[in-house]
Amino acid sequence: MQENYIQNLNPEQEKAVKHIDGPSMVIAGAGSGKTRVLTYKIVYLLQNNIKPSSILALTFTNKASKEMQKRIEEIVGFNYSNNLWMGTFHSVFSRILRFEANHLNYSSNFTIYDTEDSKSLIRSIIKELNLDKEIYKVNFIRNRISSMKNNFITAKEYNNKKELIEADKIAKRIEFGRIYNIYNNRCMKADAMDFDDLLIKTYELLSRNKDTLLKYQEKFKYILIDEYQDTNNIQYLIIKKIAALYKNICVVGDDAQSIYSFRGANIQNILNFKLDYPEHKIYKLEQNYRSTSTIVEAANSIIKHNKKQIKKKVWTNNIQGEKIIIAKTGSDNEESRIVAKTINDIQLQNEARYEEFAILYRTNAQSRALEEALRKRNIAYKIYGGLSFYQRKEIKDLLSYYRLTINQKDEEALKRIINYPARGIGLTTIQKLTIAANKMNISIWEVINNIEEIGLTINNGTKNKLENFVSLINTFKEEIEIEDAYTIAEKIAKKSGILSELYNDKTNEGINRFENIQELLNGIKTFTDSSEQNNTLPEFMKEVALLTNEDKEDQKTNNKVTLMTIHSAKGLEFPYVFIVGLEENLFPSLMSKESEESMEEERRLFYVAITRAKKRVFITFAASRFKWGQIIDCSPSRFIREIDSNCLEKKEMYSKETRKPVYSVHLKTRDRRDKTKQSVYQKKLRKINNNTINSRIDLTKITNGIKVKHNQFGTGTVINIQGEGINKKATVFFAGVGQKNLLLRFAKLEIIEK
């Protein structure tokens, strides 16, 4: 074990590291060595003879936890680092839930439904109930269920909350409560949990079983939490419970980098921390070691525009560096070409490697033009986010075979593969099976196994096909606990017919899919070889649902330009950073204009983007941009004006090429669409561009206590008014949504009663 690592710390960092007894909070500005403090703190604990297994360290992404584990391992060795309880909230809690499954009416091999599975289940429920899918939109229903769960409103409680039912009534979604209830029952029946369940069920487990709670309170004597500003309400409550005994809890975060409120993250948790642990100590890390002083100053000048923030002054001793370049370009394609050219130039002049560059954008859809421009210049790049490897169709298909073999109740897996590859079991048959399963409250698998007893009318041919399918899965089942993961995984890939189905598809996509399957099998092989005792397929599958693209490191060549959303860039750093698409309605996003709060979150997002850079920042915006096959005129983002002009150098960059006219094959349909119904987006856009005053209602009529209706949040009560004239703002409490600050000139509020 190395002893001298503490020398690498400044006095404040050292104090934070050595504070191990009692609660502490580290407010860490961007680039101030936050990860270093966390890492060394864990090392320090281990050196003070704390057992690794009694340290719980929670991170925001798997990647962050892996990185930290690696750094700790380098200092203390694998035997110590391996026994730490380190990971994301979801992965650590799923471990606990599997261990304690018997307390919850779940088996320890329960399935984790990802977002796709949840949506597919909701889609079936809506269909079974014969509801109008225009009113009951799958995405909306899933989001609403998720937000209910994150606010601790069970399906039962929903039925007691008049405001919620009222809100759904107004939106003509009277059956929401029923869908919510059925959804929960179906998950339970399938021995499956969705992402939110992993948190909720953990909380339930700890609330209902005193012994279990005590066990984990005793176990986790030391708790550390990274990115605390992005924890949500349930996560906060679970941690509060576990930490209640020893109160050795250390949270690390930066309120200026809170960018996940759409997922329920709550900055309030930072304030609550002070109230919950009055004996706490706060350490502020304000020296930035990452960026040039120009970048630090620019970042400070932006975040200054936010009203809500904890006071701190980030500063640096680093050199001034070069100014931030802001480039105005003609179109999105031109923007991409200029970014690619600039990367090329810098790479040649400064002998920089491609891996030193990152291109950051607000939405995933922006990557397409950039990819094209990079490809044209033969610049190697890797792209994060978008469709995850594990979400690809062929991967999910094969994984569904594994899932069903492990858990026959897994309805979504069964539906996915019962007729893939095609074996002549059609929709009609599946419908009959589903109806019977719902009626008798058993799984589809059980129905198939008891067709005779149930008395279903299915012809003998189909019956035969069903029997073959069942015995196929049963043969896999016999071996899955005995064989190692790779052996059985490969066997299933072959015998299910997936491998040959894809092998025979000689189209480009087919070849690609075949290769992806090979890659998955290779991954399983690595898993099998690296873990000698617990190397069964069920063990492998426990991790898979929580993995994302970022966890699948591409080992081939690492010298590539990185493309990602700003959200996924959190916690990373690059010498050269390009931030593209700085246009009103894109960044800040159109959706964020309804309230001051979401506008401030967009601004924090911009702050995060700039502070990723070590040496240089390039910002670009375009005068026009392709969106849904149409060209949209854009104006520069307000954030550009907010940067201190001393840090900036402005450029206009037009290449000679103008946009080629686009001739559409589907001219007819587009014509009609343009004339008849304008897209919602267009309408919104026009509204914001044209009017500065909300014309629908008289703003003076909105006062304290008045009831209003909002088309997204439902009904709510005005609890506070600020400002005057066109800057008048209202704080409104919406049932089931919470408090929102709305700028009245934008928010389309209707007055319901006085």
Partner DNA sequence: ACCTCAAACATTTTT
Partner DNA sequence: TGTTTGAGGT
Establish if 300 lies at the interface with DNA (CB under 7 A): no
Contacts 24+ apart (CB under 8 A), 112-115: 112/192, 112/193, 112/194, 112/195, 112/198, 112/545, 112/546, 113/187, 113/190, 113/192, 113/193, 113/194, 113/195, 113/412, 113/545, 114/194, 114/195, 114/391, 114/545, 115/142, 115/195
Tell me: does residue 618 bind DNA (CB under 7 A): no
In eight-state DSSP terms, residue 746 is: T
Q: Which of 612, 625, 729, 740 is catalytic?
A: 612
Contact flag: residue 553 with DNA (CB under 7 A) = no
Stretch that binds DNA, among 82-90, 246-254, 400-408, 636-644 (CB under 7 A): 82-90
H or E element at residue 722 = strand 714-722
Characterise 152 by phi-psi region: left (phi > 0), alpha (psi -120 to 50), beta (else): left
- Cβ nearer to DNA, comparing 353 with 659: 659
385 binds DNA (CB under 7 A): yes
Site track 677-716 with DNA (rule: CB under 7 A), x = hit: --x-------------------------------------
Q: Which is nearer to DNA, 227 or 356 (CB)?
A: 227
* Cis peptide upstream of residue 636 (ω within 30 degrees of 0): no
C-beta neighbour count of 375 within 10 angstroms: 12
Pick the piece of the chain touching DNA (CB under 7 A) from 289-297, 611-619, 661-669, 715-723.
661-669
- Of these, 11, 455, 629, 661, which contacts DNA (CB under 7 A)? 629
Q: Is 667 in the site for DNA (CB under 7 A)?
A: no
Which residues fall within 8 angstroms of residue 496, CB to CB, at 6 or more apart?
398, 401, 417, 421, 472
Q: Which stretch binds DNA (CB under 7 A): 328-336, 483-491, 529-537, 621-629?
A: 621-629
Say whether residue 203 binds DNA (CB under 7 A). no
Name the catalytic one among 12, 13, 34, 63.
34
Binding-site residue total for DNA (CB under 7 A)? 55
Q: Which of 626, 654, 733, 746 binds DNA (CB under 7 A)?
A: 626
Out of 227, 411, 412, 484, pick the active-site residue.
227
Q: In whole angstroms, give the CA distance from residue 30 to residue 535.
A: 40
By beta-carbon proximity to DNA, the closer residue of 115 and 703 is: 115
Q: Which is nearer to DNA, 62 or 248 (CB)?
A: 62
Query: Dihedrals φ, ψ of 211, to 5°?
Result: -65, -45
226 is annotated as an active-site residue? yes
Site string for DNA, 435-474 (x = CB under 7 A): ---------------------------x------------
Q: Could you tell me if residue 225 is left (phi over 0), alpha (psi between -120 and 50 degrees) or otherwise beta?
A: beta
Query: DSSP string covering 138-175, please?
Result: HHHHHHHHHHHHHTT--HHHHTT-HHHHHHHHHTT-TT
Whole-number Å distance between alpha carbons of 336 and 341: 9
Applying CB under 7 A, among 82, 669, 703, 739 the residue interacting with DNA is 669
Candidates 124, 231, 496, 592; binder of DNA (CB under 7 A) is: 592
User: Could you tell me the smallest distance in angstroms from the CB atom of residue 483 to DNA?
Assistant: 30
Can you tell me which of 660, 662, 675, 753 binds DNA, judged by CB under 7 A? Answer: 662
CB-nearer residue toward DNA: 44 or 389: 389
C-beta of 659: minimal distance to DNA in Å?
Answer: 11
Smaller CB separation from DNA, 90 or 416: 90
Nearer to DNA, 137 or 495 (CB): 137
Segment interacting with DNA (CB under 7 A) among 221-229, 318-326, 543-551, 715-723:
543-551
Q: Is 565 in the site for DNA (CB under 7 A)?
A: yes
CB 29 within 8 A of CB 256: yes
User: Does 308 participate in binding DNA (rule CB under 7 A)?
Assistant: no
Paired tokens of 621? 């915006």
- Measured between alpha carbons, how far is residue 91 from residues 13, 144, 548 in Å? 29, 24, 12
Helix count and strand count (H, E) for the chain: 32, 21
561-565 and 249-253 beta bridge pairing: unpaired
* Catalytic residue (one of 100, 196, 197, 226): 226
For position 628 contacting DNA by CB under 7 A, the verdict is yes
C-beta of residue 588 within 8 angstroms of C-beta of residue 425: no
Residues 114-173 that bind DNA (CB under 7 A): 115, 133-134, 137, 139
- Which CA distances in Å does 374 have to 508, 564, 628? 22, 14, 22
Minimum CB–partner distance for residue 425 and DNA (Å): 7
DSSP labels, 633-690: E--B-HHHHHS-GGGEEEEE---SPPPPPPPPTTHHHHHHHHHS---HHHHHHHHHHH
Query: Quick check: 590 binds DNA (CB under 7 A)?
Result: yes
Cis before residue 421, ω within 30 degrees of 0?
yes
H/E/C letters for each residue in 586-627?
A: ECCEHHHHHEHHHHHHHHHHHHHHHCCEEEEEEEEEEEEEEE
In the bound state with DNA, the residue whose beta carbon lies nearer, of 11 and 629, is 629
Q: Which is nearer to DNA, 275 or 680 (CB)?
A: 680
Q: Using the minimum distance from each CB to DNA, give the nearer residue, 105 or 507.
A: 507
3-state secondary structure of 421: coil
Strands (E) in 244-363, as ranges, are 249-253, 281-285, 324-331, 357-361
Exactly one of 1, 78, 244, 426 binds DNA (CB under 7 A); that residue is 426
Q: Within its chain, how far is the Cα of 226 from the centroid?
A: 16
35 is catalytic: yes
Output 195 or 445, the one with its CB closest to DNA. Answer: 195
Selecting among 14, 15, 18, 35, the annotated active-site residue is 35
Pick the closest to residue 356 from 612, 24, 590, 108 (CA basis): 612
Range 251-270, binding DNA (CB under 7 A): 259, 262-263
- Measured from the CB of residue 466, what is the shortest distance to DNA in angstroms? 11
Active site residues: 34-35, 226-227, 257, 612
Interaction site with DNA (CB under 7 A)? 60-62, 88-91, 115, 133-134, 137, 139, 195, 259, 262-263, 362-365, 368, 385, 388, 419, 422-429, 462, 546, 548, 550, 565, 567-568, 589-592, 598, 626-629, 662, 664, 666, 668-670, 679
